[in-house]
A and B are shown apart, each in its own frame.
Chain A
Amino acid sequence: MIADITIGQFMPGKSFIHKLDPRMKIIVMTALIIFVFLAKNMFSMGLMLGFVLVAMLLTRISPVMYFKGLKAIWFLIVFTSVLNMLYLRGDTVLFQWSFFTVTKEGLWQSAFIAMRLVLIIIISSMLTYTTSPTDLTAAIERLLKPLNVVKVPVHELAMMMTIALRFIPTLLEETEKIMNAQKARGADLESGGMMKRAKALIPILIPLFISSFRRAFELATAMDCRCYTGGEGRTRLNVLRYRFRDIFAFVLVAAACGGIIYLNTLAPALVH
């Protein structure tokens, strides 16, 4: 039941985007997110929108899934656009009622900001939908490796992420077991006000904590037995390798970014 929840909602597939090296995916998707903010007129935003939509279709994941991602924050999008629409004053007044004024400039700007939010969600969903958590962790570890120089424990952080991902389903399953056990003893978890329900969680959280510490201890022993001594001198089963398609994707995204910069010069900016 609740153990079915998967973090990041990876959807396995064999599309071009699925097959990209996870490091390249992180790099180009970060670049795209930055350029979402740099697209300032209709031409450049149009190019960005078109590019992201084509990429979205290339993942062969149903657009419905992307809309599901948007559903979670639609309120935020509507709220910020309405605020923007009302607060930003321009010269061309379209509509006025008591102290509400809607101007053409304000309307454009709020439309752009809404579009930016939507694009960011789509781009980041694209990353998590097409990349397994394991690949994502490996890529983050590899990409952040230079930070080792400034004493950031990159390997340890990646190891922690892997173990967290590994144990989320196990702990969810355990939570469910403990909840059932407490219910069987007459615990009431559903009724009452906030305080009462929060208090009812204590007999679930305490056993969960204790067992987590025991697990951590046992896991540490098991890792010791398997000669784990940290990141130093470790090799990997699956080595990440850039292939031709990664270079191709990079060039494509770079071209799109260049295009956005160029198109920005063709018409006045509609957003700041």
Chain B
Amino acid sequence: MEHTNITSDNLEVQISAQDVYFAYESTDGGEPKEVLHGVSIDIRKGEFVALLGHNGSGKSTMAKHMNAILLPSGGKVLVGGMDTADEELLTEIRRTVGMVFQNPDNQLVATIVEEDVAFGPENLGVPSEEIRVLVDDALKTVGMYEYRRHAPHKLSGGQKQRVAIAGIIAMRPKCIVFDEPTAMLDPRGRQEVMDTIDKLTGELGITVVLITHYMDEAARADRVIIINDGKILTEGTPKEVFSQIDMLRAVHLDVPQPTELAQSLRDMGFSGIPADILTPEECAKAIFAARQQQ
């Protein structure tokens, strides 16, 4: 992937979470339940970051802080320098950081695809002629332009999710946070959505934060952050993170299958196989090379 070579140190910070604490009000009047215990993350412009963690690790809660759906109970979150706690800036923050959720059905508002995509720009008060341009562009980006007059409920899961993505792109955000966008989709829908995300980070230069528990999806990112029990456990490039197989297992996360295979082969004595293998292609090449050596 071409964007893996971004050396992110010198890039401007897009979202900055600084020592964020968060507690959900308990429903039965007891003690509030703290789910984030001091998380600090910097997301840089144009970066593709994957946030990993098992269920209940706080990864979704963290994501919801990135466009002021939740406000931290301690610490602060800055979006392009704007404090999410400042209510005056709410609209500006939300048009800067868009969000796509798990269930495509529960994000679509209108009865016709193009009207749904227009919903965001309409809310922002964009003039009608400009909305038309934004909507058409967004639908073409996600490859749903031919379906612009269709009813959303007649589309497949992957198509609906692409329409939901178009609805966010139409607001021209600088960053999009995806909260497990493929969790409810079939393999084909997953592929469609992941290809769309690749297009956003590649061609359009949009900053992407992807929350997922699929390792192969996280492997496409520039940087992987692992959250466990409301704290950052580790972060680094996918190769750095996924080669720590024992650590991943300890926090109940899967390891990408090629990485796991490479690891088992190493354990069996094939020392020529590197530990930081991510893709099936890499794995195949390494095995081929190891065989030739023998």
Contacts and interface: CB of A to CB of B under 8 A. Distances in A.
B111 A162 contact: yes
B119 interface: yes
Contacts of A156: none
A133 B115 CA distance: 12
Contact of A225 (B69, B111, B112, B122): B69
Contact of A133 (B111, B126, B152): B111
A237 B115 contact: yes
A235 interface: yes
Contact of B109 (A166, A169, A173, A235): A166
A237 B91 contact: no
A170 interface: yes
Nearest to B91: A227
Given A227-B171, A237-B115, A238-B115, A173 B153 contact: yes
Interface residues of A, number: 30
Contacts of A224: 69, 94
B140 to A, nearest CB: 16
Interface in A207-258: 215, 218-219, 221-229, 233-239
Contacts of B110: 134, 162, 166
Interface string B106-121: 1111111011001111
Q: Ordered nearest first, which 6 A-B pairs have the shortest CB separation?
A: A237-B118, A218-B106, A222-B107, A169-B153, A226-B120, A227-B123
Interface string B75-110: 000000000000000010011001101010111111
Given A215-B106, A219-B107, 13 more contacts: A221-B69, A221-B101, A222-B164, A225-B99, A225-B168, A226-B109, A226-B120, A226-B167, A226-B168, A226-B171, A228-B119, A236-B122, A237-B122
Contact of A134 (B108, B111, B121, B125): B111
